[in-house]
Amino acid sequence: MITIYDVEVKDINLETINMDSYKGKTLLIVNVASACGFTPQYKGLQELYEKYKDQNFEILAFPCNQFGAQESGTNEEIAAFCDNNFSVSFKLFDKVDVNGEDASPLFKILTKAYPGILGTKNVKWNFTKFLISKDGAIINRFGSTTTPETIEVAIKDII
């Protein structure tokens, strides 16, 4: 069975990252967008990251333009937006699709392992969050309306 540790992704600078480099860390994987009603969640994500980064916690943010064309910028524009508006210091990645034939292999694994409401595999909107344990188990999936502050309890439980 393929796990998240078996795939490679590209970071915001287009450098290849092997997901196995995150073994032993608690992960929150999020599809993000700069022009979304949920974009202010970057603030809460950054606060979570600051609070738990010294406990082997990482946030991996994957920009996605599949929902309302809310992430139309280049990687450079996305990085500048995140830095200028939210002082984001967690890892940003190359823009990906999270649904469909061209979906990132990482998101195919995440959505298959932890379907959404009524068993649907598709990500419904920006700022869907997947919580991954240190051993790579997909612990939970949180919808866009679930704020970073709300899921802090779940993070504390597995760190």
- The confidence score (pLDDT) of residue 112 equals 82
User: What pTM did the predictor assign?
Assistant: 0.94
Return the structure tokens found at 25: 């860390």
- The confidence score (pLDDT) of residue 123 equals 84
- The confidence score (pLDDT) of residue 119 equals 59
Determine the Cα angle at 147 with ends 20 and 60, to 5°.
20
- Kindly list the structural domains of the chain, giving each domain's residue range(s) and its CATH number in brackets, ordered by start: 4-158 (3.40.30.10)
Q: Which of 110, 134, 106, 109 is nearest to 23 (CA)?
A: 134
Note the pLDDT tens digit of each residue in 48-92.
999 999 999 999 999 999 998 899 899 999 999 999 999 999 999
| Long-range contact pairs involving 106-110 (C-beta distance under 8 Å, separation at least 24) | 106/4, 106/7, 106/9, 106/19, 106/29, 106/62, 107/31, 107/62, 109/2, 109/3, 109/4, 109/7, 110/4, 110/29, 110/138, 110/141
Return the structure tokens found at 155: 């993070």
| Catalytic residue set | 36
What average pLDDT is seen over the chain? 92
Distance CA 11, CA 92 (A): 6
Contacts of 53 (CB under 8 A, 6+ apart): 90
- Give the model's confidence band at 117: pLDDT under 50 very low, under 70 low, under 90 confident, else very high: low
Q: Is the pLDDT of residue 113 over 90?
A: no
